[in-house]
Structure 1
């Protein structure tokens, strides 16, 4: 099928020949103009002088005395006018969002030639709106939309605020225009209106062309319409509408919304004889992935190459259309290697770039900074995320890992600059700007450094060699655009003398990034064409691959933010949502009308906010126009793994040698925790104690249960060691306990020391507790006091030791001796009984029916604490008191405020002497140890899956 622009070029060259250079051709975008020039060259077959080829925006700008102002300067100018009129102290940061909305409304007012005075000030009472403009439901919607700014608490206030707003809007509109006009500046709508008003007044415009030809337009604003009518009336305007597709002749199709009016108002002088009867081959492909669409597009391109429908060297007749610009980068990385030339004809929002992600991390880091003794402290997650960003990690290499390791190992919730080191990039990154000028300089220097890093490497001040980095051309382009944006924002702030905080500066920069589109430039007339929907206007391709054919994406479901209610926009002839629906329908049906092959891809996922619904255009093609569509469903192959039984042979992998290390003369010993771990899951025991695989350290932002218990243990040890002094043991009296309980300063100091050691990892630098840590500390102090109260009831008793280390051997079969170890929380003596006390801060029980259940691996709630304290009794008896009776005791800290008991209950009776269960305990402990060291018995997974719930290795087992 012959492209529309080719036929236009044919018709005009046939009529004008070499005289065509005296004409001007106006297109909706630059790309269509470039293709027109290509077709004109092909039609002429020889060198000729080119006619003027331009866009409507550029032509308007040429005819207006004003120059276009940049968006930042425009927003600042509007803000200053607003402050002047409203006499408000509103910050620029609060103004930015709805200031941007106002600029959009003012642009529309001018482009649609609306009488601004009537629109903004001809409203005397809110009741008038109720009666003539809006329904009650619409008023409620308007109130919700405008919120408290314009609808305060009472109905009378509502009316007054509403009226005041619209009166201010007109003054703001005229004030902004006057200010810009005095500086010979204008925004786009203002330029359009100026040219249209000149046309209305029949003023002679500087148009040195015999004909001005408008090609490929559809939806035109009132200003454009007036300008076109002026050129039509003076005889130099000519108009060509691409309305030849059969679907566009259907009056029920929204795509034809503007068709009849445009053809009636603006007829063509040359008859273009074209009838489109060919129906494209259409494939509809559903893929449950966004990025997967890009991968599927690769397969389609490869198939077109294999079937000779696409020449890799000349792929200009094939286009990939991306309604969702976020798929641009995945698409670029998916192009088949056979296609060497790619031309991108679309913008890519700066907000979605890698450098914008880095800037957002920097902004978050700046927001979360705390100061301690005048020195900044950086939140650990912000530090880790920044160090993990590709731009940073690739420059500092191993240093990033070292810093992250330091943070985790030392549990640094907030990190000081000196703890981050002296690497040049680190010093540049972790600064605290105090003014907007410092913030701009900070970002500019950082971006300059990173851009230089793309081409060279240098050394940091602390002697660390930087990693050589090669950023891609696209990444360097992203950096450059962000760099220019920061500089421009800094210059505007300085020129306009706008006062704002550093936080406002960063937030404004983020908002600007969301509105800045990076244009990609390449060789437009060669290679595969990748473009957005708007860029397809007036262009035709043999092969079309359109991604994101989802409802809400194409057509886009996006209502522009505006202060002007729908009914008022419609009443004053401004663009509404119906216009948007019609425009996108036209784009689609015109785009596919001359294609030979059309591939429509959509994301079929239905998770989250994604409905997985295909675009309405597909249903229209299938059921209204009865166009055959081949539907293909692509499914992702998901590998599902059934949990497999993992079994480790002790005779392999050097395990026998590692087990021998626990025997006599070895360097390792088994603890009660290790034995409990083996009973829970032999595989877990193997990974943790044989292979010594440890979970990666993570920063605990609050005191977790393990650290809580360690602080409690440390406090009790310090308290009783103080009472004991240097003596071997001492009789503790009620007076001892009372003295300690009253000494709040001493207890607080002990608490701070324990926090410094166990939580902050700074044992030599205890500091007063603050915030959440202070509250946690107060809870621990109350528990300590309650523990001492319970101990007071036991006085007098003899205190022997705390955190007592014991290391003993125990014999098993085949004359092997196994090393055992333990740290007993507390040993004391009362009424001739030695108590072996274990503190527990979790949920535990004190009763058990038999020793058998303590060693039963199939028990879901095996009483591990009881097994542990009996294990301590065994070690203590072997080492210290072979003949004395031992009473195992457990202090369950969470029960201190209830009915408190510390002795164990064996078959419902208090267990006052370990001797009563020692023989049975020895039997099962020996059997357990023999199992561990039995080379014929592998380390296998537990069969009780509830044991896997909190296991560090459950991902390895796929449970």
Structure 2
């Protein structure tokens, strides 16, 4: 394969030109590197390298202006805006920057295409006047301001460009307009022969400059277009070259170089649909494995990323055998881990909160660089801080409270969490100081953290630039405006790779591929909306005005991508075109029209395939754990200490839960309760009633007792909320509602008690929160002690009947405390977990000999208080109809004991594994 650059050099040598005395102009600097390399290979004698420039550098040298960054332009333009805006309340810099970016792009286009400024700006103002409000006699202030903006565009442009020109500065379009005006002077002063090569789409200024030089000097120009595209009047790949050949006066007397015939040569074109973007990166890795050569040389292989966000996953997918590669595009700074940390810091501080939301704080403390800074003697202080926030249930935390949590790392925490006071200067100062702290820490382990040091250096440069802009212009009036410019700078900065520019595998974006040729080309993300990019309307200039003034529209932009795509295929021998098969409204999913066009041309046979990852079918099996001697030993320890009713019902519900919680002692993750959880509410109500009734054990309830309790509801409930909910806030929102609900539950319960007393009921408190421990169960089949234990919420005597009461803050109905089939008591959790728990309490008290018959046991449901005391009930269906028995007698205890023993024997049966149940949540 002979590349385009080789063909140009051969032609120049055949013309007998001295290559050292030429000035080469190319579309990009990247192409210049390859040209220089090819020159060294094409000459057999020592020579001086010729001058090689990109078109941007060449035009800048003619104009005499220095190109200014987009961010600097924004600040310069705001100066123009504030100078010319005579109406009250001009836009803040933050608001201005949102629309000014678009206007600067329009200025750029207008200048690059040499549009008369007065004409187009006056035209735009007239359109808006006519379009909306020309017939209205009385215009609102909003309408007046809107029209004033359009009428001032010409004044903004004139003042802004004059200011830049006075300082020998310019944006790209202004540089091009000035260069076009000075091209004749340049030609007189520079007699060197110019060679233009590899161009396609040119703006009006570029066309004018190149034509002037071609017509007035002995300059040469080389195009690279295939005959198939050039001669086809509707093929977009040849749109621009056809126009140049037809319209330029130069080609009326000079030949048009070159129309080649490379595209029809034999090619292997594989079109592969791959699910998702990451899938494409992984598939490219598989392609590279098939391309492995004995020498491991891939100089003539290029990966062209249609979506440049694929760079990082691609680099992680490169096979190990590839030792040399060159990444042209640079790694976006916004994808570096440090960027996410500063984004979190800006979001934390930009609204100047009095206290920070705990999730925002935890997000920062969990960051890899913060964990690194808060590590001391292998102790992870970041995790300790997070656990403190969680265990104390702190939903909002102030900066001073955070500082108090760690004296050792107070300087670091101060830089992160000290209030920025909505001051950009303070934000910049703290950010720069933090970067220096991080840099000094990373320096201690330089060899391990060399990449992280590169990160910190780039961010050090970025914040220095922001500080310079703030010092020079002082336009940052808030953290929010600073954040906006920070994001603008961040999006344009890259971390450049050090590679082998001319050796090994080449990884590049579509624009970097200009002028270059490769035998094997892999193109990713060939989807609509990516290649080509599709329609976008990021401009104040309407489509019809652009068409009238010959400004580029989406049609021309699509044609640019079409040329680059087909040019990559012209001299290639092996082509892999990948597209994302997954439909996504934002990121594409429909394969590109380029693929359909290749199919319809019938020039090459396309090999279509859909790549899918190999997924081994994993049969879903419920977990099982066998009872090893170690597990049995652990169960014996639990049995000796005492099974609680809740642990036994946990086993009934799901044996694996019992195994994790009781055998392995795995606790649930202790998360911050932003809103009061159901179990917290239940704990508060239980503890409040315990405080009220505990002093009355052994006493008969009176109206006076209840009346006194009612006066203490608010203070007692508040006290227990503070104890249980720690530092959680219950003064607002859902938590305030939960607080009021807890008070209402207690009040309703006391009112029910008062109603019963007034009705003549005699209620005597026997025990409150009675804690029964190690009540022995006699199981002859087991030769070790089995005990049971637990707390009973309340035991009282109601008109002579002993009642065992369990409080539930959730809703319970009568049917949930009834039992029909004793055989199902320990197997059907949903139906019988509540009767099982109630009978456990009765069994423990009967075993200790502290029950006096008659006995009833049941539940008081605070959500169903009108139902009163829900009594445990035995339903007997042996006769006609069902009889209900609420009294608990010796027979009931005996029947329960049989089921309890059976459950315990199951737990200790080595032949019955702990087996997971499919539990519905």
Tell me the TM-score normalized by structure 1.
0.87
Matched with 1:175 is: 159
User: Which residue does 1:234 correspond to in 2?
Assistant: 216
Is residue 2:755 matched to residue 1:793? yes
- Between the aligned partners of 1:645 and 1:889, the Cα distance in structure 2 is 35
- Write the distance in 2 (CA, Å) between the matches of 1:173 and 1:340: 52
Q: Please report how far the alpha carbon of residue 576 of structure 1 lies from its aligned counterpart in structure 2 after TM superposition.
A: 0.8
- 2:276 maps to which of 280, 289, 294: 289
**Matched residue SS, 1:802:** strand
1:923 aligned to which of 876, 898, 903: 898
Residue matched to 1:147: none
What do residues 918-959 of structure 1 show as CA deviations (whole Å, max 9, x unaligned)? Answer: 2322222222222222333332233xx3xx234xxxxxxxxx
Relative to 1, partners in 2 of residues 1:595 and 1:225: Cα closer, same or farther, differing over 3 Å?
A: same
2:613 alignment partner, one of 636, 654, 666? 636
Matched-pair contact (CA < 8 Å) for 1:854–1:867: no
CA contact under 8 A between 1:703 and 1:776: conserved in structure 2? yes
Report deviation, 1:861. Answer: 2.7
Displacement of 1:367: 5.0
Residues of 2 paired with 1:236 and 1:785: CA distance? 101
790-799 or 419-428: bigger deviation: 419-428
* Paired residues of 2:275 and 2:582 also in contact (CA < 8 A): yes
- By how many angstroms is 1:189 displaced? 1.1
Count of aligned pairs: 890
Whole-angstrom CA distance in 2 between matches of 1:883 and 1:419: 54
Q: Secondary structure at the match of 2:550?
A: coil
Aligned pair partner of 1:758 in 724, 727, 731: 724
Asked if the contact 2:713/2:746 (under 8 Å) is kept, the reply is no
Partner of 1:56: 55
> Helix, strand or coil: the match of 2:48?
coil
Instruction: Look up the match of 2:636.
Output: 660
1:770 deviates by 4.1
Q: Judging changes above 3 Å, is the alpha-carbon distance between structure 1 residues 629 and 919 closer, same or farther for their aligned structure 2 residues?
A: same
Match in the other structure for 2:10: 10
Query: Secondary structure, in 3 states, of the residue corresponding to 2:900?
Result: helix
1:440–1:151 distance in 2 versus 1, CA, 3 Å: farther
CA distance in 2, matches of 1:97, 1:653: 70
Shift >6 Å, 4+ stretches: 150-159
Do 1:348 and 1:518's aligned partners in 2 also have CA atoms closer than 8 Å?
Answer: yes
Supply the distance in 1 between the matched residues of 2:905 and 2:137 (Cα, whole angstroms). Answer: 79
Q: Does 1:949 align with 2:884?
A: no
* 1:94 positional shift: 2.1
1:446 and 2:405 aligned: no
Q: Say if 1:158 and 1:215 are closer, same or farther in 2 by CA, change over 3 A.
A: farther
Per the alignment, residue 603 of structure 1 pairs with 580
User: Hey, what does 1:954 align to over in structure 2?
Assistant: none
Aligned to 1:67: 66
Please state whether the residue corresponding to 2:269 is helix, strand or coil: strand
Cα deviation per residue 1:725-779 (whole Å; 9 max; x = unaligned)? Answer: xx643332223222332x3xx433322321222222x6xxx98734442232122
> Alpha carbons of 1:802 and 1:854: their partners in 2 closer, same or farther (altered >3 Å)?
farther
**Distance (whole Å) between structure 1 residues aligned to residue 825 and residue 135 of structure 2:** 70
Q: 1:532-568: per-residue Cα shift (whole Å, max 9, x none)?
A: 1000011111111112222222222362511111111
Look up the match of 1:938.
913
Matching residue of 1:409: 391
| Residues 853 and 127 (structure 1), Cα distance of their counterparts in 2 relative to 1, 3 Å cut | farther
1:272 Cα deviation after fit = 5.3
- Residue 92 of structure 1 deviates from its aligned partner by 1.7
Distance (whole Å) between structure 1 residues aligned to residue 41 and residue 565 of structure 2:
27
In 2, Cα distance between equivalents of 1:673 and 1:335: 54
**Alpha-carbon distance between aligned partners in 2 of 1:248 and 1:858, rounded to the nearest angstrom:** 81
Q: How far 1:26 moved relative to its partner?
A: 0.8
- Secondary structure of the corresponding residue to residue 53 of structure 2: strand
Alignment of 1:549 with 2:526, yes or no, is yes
In structure 2, the residue matched to 1:120 is: 121
The match for 2:486 among 504, 509, 531 is 509
> What does residue range 147-296 of structure 1 map to in structure 2 within 5 Å?
160=144, 162-199=146-183, 202-204=184-186, 207-244=189-226, 246-264=228-246, 265=248, 267=251, 274-276=260-262, 277-296=264-283
TM-score, normalization by structure 2: 0.90
Q: State the distance in 2 between where 1:470 and 1:395 align.
A: 15
Which residue matches 1:879?
848
Q: Does 1:813 align with 2:814?
A: no
Of stretches 107-116 and 841-850 in structure 1, the one that deviates more from structure 2 is: 841-850
Report the Cα distance in structure 2 between the residues aligned to 1:755 and 1:158, rounded to whole angstroms: 53
SS at match of 2:666: coil
**Alignment equivalent of 2:792, drawn from 824, 834, 840:** 824
Aligned to 1:498: 475
Match of 1:393 among 358, 361, 371: 371
Q: 2:244, 2:178 → 1: CA distance?
A: 23
Residue aligning to 1:36: 35
Shift in Å, 1:681? 2.2
**Is the 1:344–1:530 contact (alpha carbons within 8 Å) kept by the matching residues of 2?**
yes
Any residues of structure 2 matched to 1:80-119 within 5 Å, and which?
80-86=79-85, 87=87, 88-119=89-120
Measure the CA separation in 1 of the matches of 2:447 and 2:341: 17
Q: Is the 8 A contact 1:551 1:616 kept in 2?
A: yes
Secondary structure (helix, strand or coil) at the match of 1:891 reads strand
Q: CA deviation at 1:503?
A: 3.2
Report if the CA contact (8 A) 1:283-1:629 is conserved: yes
Picking from 445, 455, 460, the partner of 1:483 is 460
1:799 is displaced (CA, Å) by 2.8
Whole-angstrom CA distance in 1 between matches of 2:458 and 2:548? 41
SS in 2 for 1:46: coil
Alignment partners' CA distance in 1, 2:458 and 2:22: 36
Q: Could you tell me whether the CA contact under 8 Å between 1:551 and 1:615 is conserved in 2?
A: yes
Tell whether the 8 Å contact from 1:886 to 1:915 is kept in structure 2 after alignment.
no
1:431 alignment partner in structure 2? 418
Q: 1:857 to 1:641 in 2, by over 3 A?
A: farther
Query: Secondary structure, in 3 states, of the residue corresponding to 1:220?
Result: coil
CA contact (8 A) 1:545 1:599 kept: yes
Asked whether 1:893 is paired with 2:880, we answer no
What is residue 821 of structure 2 aligned with on the other side? 852
* Alpha-carbon distance in structure 2 between the residues aligned to 1:3 and 1:258: 21
Match of 1:680 among 640, 653, 665: 653
Q: How far is the alpha carbon of 1:427 from its aligned partner?
A: 4.6
1:609-656 residue CA offsets vs partner (Å, 9 max, x unmatched): 455322211111122234111223321122332232544332x15122
Checking the alignment, whether the CA contact within 8 Å between 2:580 and 2:588 is kept in structure 1 is no
Matched, 1:834 2:812: no
Structure 2 residue 337 is matched with structure 1 residue 351? no
Contact (CA 8 Å) 1:248, 1:589: kept in 2 or not? no
Structure 1 residue 221: deviation in Å? 0.9
- Alpha-carbon separation, structure 2, partners of 1:114 and 1:16: 41
2: CA distance between counterparts of 1:616 and 1:420? 60
**Is residue 903–residue 910 contact of structure 1 (8 Å, CA) maintained in 2?**
no
Query: Which residue does 1:133 correspond to in 2?
Result: none
> Partners in 1 of 2:382 and 2:740 — Cα distance?
37
CA–CA distance in structure 2, aligned partners of residues 270 and 41 of structure 1: 27
Distance 2:199 2:139 in 1: 46
Counterpart in the other structure of 1:613: 590
